[in-house]
Amino acid sequence: MAQASSPLAEMALVEMTNVAKHFGKVIALNGVSLTVNAGEVLCLLGDNGAGKSTLIKVLSGVHKPTNGQIRMNGEAVDFDSPRDAQKMGIATVYQDLAMIPLTSITRNFFMGREPTHKIGPFMDFKFANEVTRREMIKIGIDIRDPEQAVGTLSGGERQTVAIARAVYFGAKVLILDEPTSALGVRQTTMVLKYTDMVRKKGLGVIFITHNVRHAYAVGDRFTILNRGVTLGNYTKDEITIDELQTLMAGGVEVEDLSAELGDNL
Ligand SMILES: Nc1ncnc2c1ncn2[C@@H]1O[C@H](COP(=O)(O)OP(=O)(O)OP(=O)(O)O)[C@@H](O)[C@H]1O
Ligand SMILES: [Mg+2]
């Protein structure tokens, strides 16, 4: 329910509190909290299996949380399906990028939201192609032929199609699950640049990564997960890149280990 006492502007766009998710005996999340504000990038960091993808699947309506709460602009929300989350303005670009390589860029851009002619059930390709081309140019990519197969685009360009699509369809929260993990330096720079562009448009972004340098380049806030629990929530001025690196590497454990090895060598 809305908290009548605090003004809307001060409320977090998304607030997840104490979220737990169990898969039978597997405890993927065990009390995780995070905050995303409009016009900010929250980086979600953590090792393999830390629970990053599970957490954003809870926020995207794919999984029901076993416990905990999600609020958007102060209001409790409860998603029964990804469509519910989508309706609230949550757009998710998954780790395995749900695109169909052999179909056109336009088809992928409008997947599930095909514009039709005024008469008949047929997709309006002329309009769709124009929009796709225009929206991609807005983020700096000149696709000469939007009917070319999406599989012919580079990994970075494919990520930007997914980002442009989310923005065009009016997302408020953009979730990017490891968008840079398979990319080289130039393509990574491209994705970081567009992430920044999306932030400047006023969306809240959740950027998942293993890479502390990518996170620090683009993040306003950092949430570090470790085996399903939060290791910490920091704003950029509360943590240095070295501290973030140490936390990611398991923090104290690694320092202990090197001290131990040092003693024995
Ligand atoms: N549908 C599921 N059923 C059972 N266990 C699951 C399921 N989804 C995730 N898990 C488990 O939950 C834990 C967290 O997985 P998750 O995919 O969220 O990690 P991650 O932080 O995204 O890792 P990565 O960096 O490798 O993508 C893992 O131990 C995983 O095996
Ligand atoms: Mg993952």
CATH at 196: 3.40.50.300
* CA of residue 231 to ligand 2 center, whole Å: 17
Whether the CB-CB separation of 76 and 83 falls below 8 Å is answered with no
Q: Which residue has the higher pLDDT, 241 or 123?
A: 241
* CA of residue 132 to ligand 1 center, whole Å: 34
Ligand 1 closest atom vs CA 24 = 4
Q: Mean per-residue pLDDT for 182-195?
A: 87
Q: What is the pLDDT of residue 252?
A: 52
| Nearest protein CA to atom 18 of ligand 1, as residue | 51
Residues above pLDDT 70, as percent of the chain: 85
Q: What is the pLDDT of residue 184?
A: 84
Whether the CB-CB separation of 55 and 16 falls below 8 Å is answered with yes
Contacts of 207 (CB under 8 A, 6+ apart): 41, 42, 43, 44, 176, 179, 195, 215, 218, 219
pLDDT at position 1 over 90: no
Two tokens at 193? Answer: 């640049």
Answer yes or no: is 216 within a domain.
yes
Answer yes or no: is 56 within a domain.
yes
Answer yes or no: is 75 within a domain.
yes
Q: What is the pLDDT of residue 150?
A: 87
Answer yes or no: is 95 within a domain.
yes
pLDDT at position 3 over 50: no
Per-residue pLDDT tens over the stretch 195-251 = 999 999 999 999 999 899 999 999 999 999 999 999 999 999 999 999 999 988 865
- Whether ligand 1 lies within 6 angstroms of the CB of 25 is answered as no
Per-residue pLDDT tens over the stretch 166-184 = 889 999 999 999 988 888 8
| Nearest protein CA to atom 8 of ligand 1, as residue | 54
pLDDT at position 5 over 90: no
Q: State the residue range of the domain holding 93.
A: 8-102+171-264
Answer yes or no: is 201 within a domain.
yes
Residue matched to tokens 């936390």: 247
Neighbours of ion ligand 2 (CB under 5 A): 52-53
Contacts of 154 (CB under 8 A, 6+ apart): 187
Q: What is the pLDDT of residue 265?
A: 47
Q: What is the pLDDT of residue 257?
A: 58
Q: What is the mean pLDDT of the chain?
A: 87
- Whether ligand 1 lies within 6 angstroms of the CB of 50 is answered as yes
Nearest in space to 229 (alpha carbons), one of 48, 26, 52: 52
Answer yes or no: is 192 within a domain.
yes
Nearest in space to 44 (alpha carbons), one of 244, 222, 219, 163: 222
Q: What is the pLDDT of residue 160?
A: 86
Q: For the chain, how many structural domains are there in total?
A: 1
Ligand 1 closest atom vs CA 21 = 12
Q: What is the pLDDT of residue 137?
A: 87
Q: Mean per-residue pLDDT for 133-143?
A: 86
pLDDT at position 14 over 50: yes
Q: Mean per-residue pLDDT for 117-139?
A: 80
Answer yes or no: is 138 within a domain.
no
Answer yes or no: is 228 within a domain.
yes
d(C-alpha 177, C-alpha 55), whole Å: 11
pLDDT at position 255 over 70: no
Two tokens at 203? Answer: 């969306």
pLDDT at position 110 over 80: yes
User: Residue 128, CB half-sphere, CA atoms under 13 Å: how many?
Assistant: 20
Q: Mean per-residue pLDDT for 41-51?
A: 94
